[in-house]
Amino acid sequence: MRIPKLQSSQYSWFIRPFLWLLEKKQNKTLKPAQLLGRRPKLFIAIFLLYKTINRKSSLIQPYIHALMSVRIAQLNQCQFTIEHDSKVLRSLKERLNKDKLLDWQHCSDFKSQECAVLAYTDAITNTSLHVTDRHIDQLRCYYNDDEIVELTTIIAFQNMTTKFNAAFDVCKKTV
């Protein structure tokens, strides 16, 4: 990790319980949370956005969310997210695993809805690509405009977090 974590007592008093709860829930120390904990307002803002994106009433199925997250983590080389979200992906759909995502365009295991989502995810994440009207038209076969906005927010958030993790070299080890 390029920036060291603080001692527990050095975190703001209202960040410490969050870090403790996250560690207890995940059974491991989350280095990205420790880094964000250095800046309490950023920590809270990102935590609230995370909770909003991952709410149970989300318009986006958890499986699609995990599929996008793992793909983004692969493109941004964030092993931390690949490991975490691959477990979610496997628990939701036995037929797919993270390795099939590496070459999803040539894998017949993906349904047309999943291909539309993955093409859109790639277009947003890979800066050499661009989102086109065709991407949106393909998504509209499966999602309404509000759902497309939510899909895009999830993709943008995952890009932010995986790039944050990569910049501080927390991607290699999760503990």
* Tally of CA atoms within 13 A in the half-sphere of 89 that contains its CB: 23
Nearest to 137 by CA among 112, 168, 102, 104: 112
Average pLDDT of span 4-12: 92
Exposed, middle or buried by CB within 10 Å (0-12, 13-18, 19+), for 70?
A: buried
Against a cut of 0.85, is the pTM above it?
yes
Flag the least confident range among 90-104, 106-120, 146-160: 90-104
The domain spans of the chain are 8-53, 62-167
What would the two tokens of residue 80 be?
């931390």
Q: Which CATH superfamily is domain 62-167 in?
A: AhpD-like (1.20.1290.10)
Over range 158-166, report the average pLDDT.
94
In this prediction, residue 95 carries a pLDDT of 57
Q: What percent of the chain has pLDDT over 90?
A: 62
The dihedral through the CA atoms of 1, 90, 75, 124 has a sign that is: negative
Specify the pLDDT at position 94. Answer: 58
pLDDT mean over 116-129: 95
From 16-20, 51-55, 95-99, the region with the lowest mean pLDDT: 95-99
**DSSP state letters, 139-159:** HHTT--HHHHHHHHHHHHHHH
pLDDT at position 99 over 90: no
Q: Residue 28's CB: how many other CB atoms inside 10 A?
A: 13
